[in-house]
Copies of this chain bind each other. A is one copy, B any other.
Amino acid sequence: MKHFLSTKDLTTEEMLTMLELAESYRTNHLKLDQQLFAANLFYEPSTRTKMSFLVAQKKLGIETLGFQVEDSSVTKGESLYDTAKTFESIGASLLVIRHQDDNWYKGIIDNLSVPVINAGAGKGEHPTQSMLDLLTIYQEYGHFNGLNIAIVGDIKHSRVAHSNAHALQTLGANVYFTAAPGFEDRTLDFPYISIDEAVEMCDTLMLLRIQHERHNDEQYDATSYHEAYGLTVEREKKMQDHAIILHPAPVNRGVEIASELVECNRSRIFKQMNNGVCVRMAIITTLLKEWGMHNENSTYKCSTLSRIK
């Protein structure tokens, strides 16, 4: 694996190996003993993904280079390729990129000579988010085979849904979609079920955020949407005892999910964020190893110091 761009590229073994590595980083992790630079190029807003990449990099001892589109040469018309090549030229050994184009990496990736991680591609893929969702499920069940997983909400505009559907199918889970009319994505071949069917049968309910910023003029009423298609307090009561709730956040409280459920017992929403750090550490070290930029001899072990929740 030279780059980390899409869950479609990943085999079951590759995913499980990375999840085990991520889990091991919760208690002990490597610190590189050479000075490497990572460039984090976010063309779209981000809190969780950007910040957990920063924490992951700093825990590994990697120097971080920030980038604000509006203060950069992007404002002078510089292309993504030229910007990426610039960071490579000034010494970045790793590029982490989020961009509004669903396929931003196609056409440029072959001309870059450092590993690249997709931190979100328009409505296309968000494979590192998928890996942290997988880790959260794996911590719960220890496997994926035969699990019933419902992905619920704005499927059409959700890169999270796309990456998770592919990954979970590869891993042997039964994937179902639930969407309000107009929010379906018919280009993907997964069965649609209603929210009421989903809450009763699933082991994991993966809620999605309504992507207001990707809708054009479609209007919807938050309260009606919540009643008809969201996880209400009433619906949560019908979930199986062991079933858990995921959401990539930020949460539209009272829309996809009742505000009082965000931190309920079966919610893993903040645990997902915590998992994001060790998952991204595992993705980074896997790639650096593949590129010969790190091996176990060029690192030292250190116990994880920030508190595990």
Contacts and interface: CB of A to CB of B under 8 A. Distances in A.
B45 A90 contact: no
A172 B202 CA distance: 64
Interface string A81-92: 011011111110
Interface in A277-309: 277, 305-307, 309
A240 interface: no
A31 B174 CA distance: 51
A71 B89 contact: no
Interface string A232-250: 0000000000000000011
A68 B46 CA distance: 10
A45 B65 contact: no
Contacts of A191: none
Interface stretch (A6-14, A49-57, A145-153, A179-187): A49-57
A63 B58 contact: yes
A5 interface: no
A36 interface: yes
Contact of A59 (B35, B48, B273, B276): B35
Contacts of A50: 71-72
Contacts of A170: none
Contacts of A82: 249-251, 253, 262
Contacts of A212: 76-77
Count chain B CB atoms within 10 A of each CB in A65, A89, A212 and give the residue with the most: A89
A71 to B, nearest CB: 5
A90 B209 contact: no
Task: From A55, A67, A75, A252, name the one whose CB has the most chain B CB atoms within 10 angstroms.
Answer: A55
Interface string A17-58: 000000000000000001111010010011110111011001
Given A93-B307, A305-B36, A47 B72 contact: yes
Given A55-B37, A76-B212, A86-B249, A277 B45 contact: no
A54 B92 CA distance: 11
A90 B58 contact: no
Nearest to A309: B89
A104 interface: no
Contacts of A209: 76
A63 B64 CA distance: 11
A65 B91 contact: no
A270 interface: yes
Contacts of A37: 55, 58, 306
Given A37-B58, A51-B67, 19 more contacts: A35-B305, A35-B306, A36-B305, A45-B70, A45-B74, A47-B67, A47-B83, A51-B86, A77-B212, A77-B250, A82-B262, A86-B249, A86-B270, A89-B271, A89-B274, A90-B274, A90-B276, A91-B306, A93-B306
